[in-house]
Amino acid sequence: MCTGGGNVKVKLSTVMIIVGVFIIFLYALIEVSYYASKITIENKYTATLEIPAINLKEEINNKSLSYGVYYDPRSSIPGSGTTVLFGHRTLYGSPFMNLDKLKKGDVVYVNWPKVGKIEYKVDKSFVVPADYEIPLRQGNKLLLVTCYPFGSTSKRLIVECKIVKILPLEKIKVENPNKNYSLAIIVLFFLFCMLIYKIYPYREDKLILLVVFLSLTLILIFAYINPVPPEFISDKLLSWS
């Protein structure tokens, strides 16, 4: 395969590697932007979800699933009816990746401004079709919803939780526990690229690979310093597909 005039040629295997690494880079870019853009949580002003059994503590937003745990505005606020929260199992921090591991009796906390710290307990879990319409008038309960099975969007897993009590909000500032994930992703991506560079057998194309790998890594570092909204990246990817 020729890349320009003269005798400069690039092997097909080199092009395929660059394409494959670029796809991985796009996923890494979304995750780096997601973790780097997360703000420090303060329960007094920010809604949060805590599930100790799966080591989850996430901010709740009403913007998009791209920001993590998403509150369905059609549902009730916690403590006053049926509350519905959605979360991804892959990408955007994968907040609900281990939702299927919850068991009956596991405790779930929702910190909600001007309401309090609402304690729930898991009652049951069930799977429904992707087009299932969730009833929003089921009484005072919490529904946690994600895709099922892992890596597929064909069905939905719903974890139903019953309210136990409402406690006062803890007026303390909590440091973002995932603040170093972005750096870890960048380092792993760079090491992966360097491994490919080291074992690639065609020396004449190694310089091309090195330039591409370093460029992509620098873009990730830039995204860490100046986070790009993750939903902007995903929207662009969808527009290209």
User: Which pLDDT tens digit goes with each residue over 204-221?
Assistant: 899 999 999 999 999 999
As a whole number, mean pLDDT of residues 63-85 equals 91
Which one-letter amino acid corresponds to residue 218? Answer: L
Domain edge (last residue) among 174, 209, 226: 174
Q: Whole-model pTM?
A: 0.61
| Residue 3: per-residue pLDDT | 47
Looking at per-residue confidence, does 135 or 10 come out higher? 135
Domain hosting 139: range is 41-174
Query: Where residue 114 falls among pLDDT bands split at 50, 70, 90?
Result: confident
Q: Is residue 86 in a domain? A: yes
Whether 47 shows a pLDDT value over 60: the answer reads yes
Average pLDDT for the chain = 85
Task: Give the integer Cα–Cα distance in Å for 69 and 84.
Answer: 10
Residue where a domain terminates, one of 126, 156, 174: 174
Residue position matching structure tokens 């805590």: 50
Is 59 in the same domain as 92? yes
Residue finishing a domain among 151, 174, 197 = 174
Does 45 share its domain with 152? yes
Number of domains in the chain: 2
| Residue 241: strand, helix, or coil | coil
Under 8 Å between Cβ of 26 and 237: yes
Residue 171, pLDDT > 70, answer no
**CATH number of the domain where residue 129 is located:** 2.40.260.10
Do 158 and 137 reside in the same domain of the chain? yes
pLDDT in the model for residue 66: 76
pLDDT of residue 6: 44
Beta-bridge partner residues of 71: 85
More reliable by pLDDT, 81 or 41: 81
